[in-house]
Amino acid sequence: MKLKSIFWGLLVLVLAMHIFSPKCMAKSPACDDNEWFYPKWAAGSKFNEPIKVLDTDSALGRYSLKTKTIGLKDIVKFHGHLCDGMVIAWVEIKAALEKLFPEGAIDRTDIRCVSKNGPCWADTVTYMTGARINYKTLRIDNSIGDGFIVQRISTGAAYEVRLKKGIFPDAQAELENRICSLRAEGLEVSKQDTEKLEKMADALSFKLLNTAPEKLLEIKEIKNYNFNFCDIFGNRRDVINKNGKR
Where are the domains positioned within the chain?
40-221
At residue 222, φ and ψ (nearest 5 deg) are -110, 115
pLDDT reported for residue 12: 46
115: pLDDT strictly greater than 90 = yes
d(CA 48, CA 91): 9
Of 172, 169, 166, residue with least CA distance to 193:
172
pLDDT reported for residue 35: 86
pLDDT reported for residue 207: 98
At residue 5, φ and ψ (nearest 5 deg) are -65, -40
27: pLDDT strictly greater than 50 = no
Q: How confident is the model at residue 242 (pLDDT cuts 50, 70, 90)?
A: confident
Residues 179 and 197: beta-carbon distance below 8 Å: yes
DSSP state of 56: B
pTM of the model: 0.83
At residue 68, φ and ψ (nearest 5 deg) are -120, 160
d(CA 107, CA 112): 11
Q: How confident is the model at residue 236 (pLDDT cuts 50, 70, 90)?
A: low
Q: What percentage of the chain reaches a pLDDT higher than 70?
A: 82
10: pLDDT strictly greater than 90 = no
Q: How confident is the model at residue 26 (pLDDT cuts 50, 70, 90)?
A: very low
For residue range 154-197, list pLDDT tens digits in order: 999 999 999 999 999 999 999 999 999 988 888 888 999 999 99
d(CA 40, CA 35): 9
Residues 92 and 161: beta-carbon distance below 8 Å: yes
pLDDT reported for residue 178: 93
Longest dimension (CA), the chain: 82
- Residue 241 burial class via C-beta count within 10 angstroms: exposed 0-12, middle 13-18, buried 19 and up: middle
138: pLDDT strictly greater than 90 = yes
Residues 77 and 194: beta-carbon distance below 8 Å: no
- What CA–CA distances, in Å, run from 56 to 40, 64, 101, 239? 33, 5, 17, 6
d(CA 197, CA 192): 9
CATH class of the domain defined by 40-221: alpha beta
* Alpha helix stretches (DSSP H) within the chain: 2-19, 22-25, 40-43, 72-79, 84-100, 119-129, 170-184, 191-209, 213-216
14: pLDDT strictly greater than 50 = no
pLDDT reported for residue 234: 60
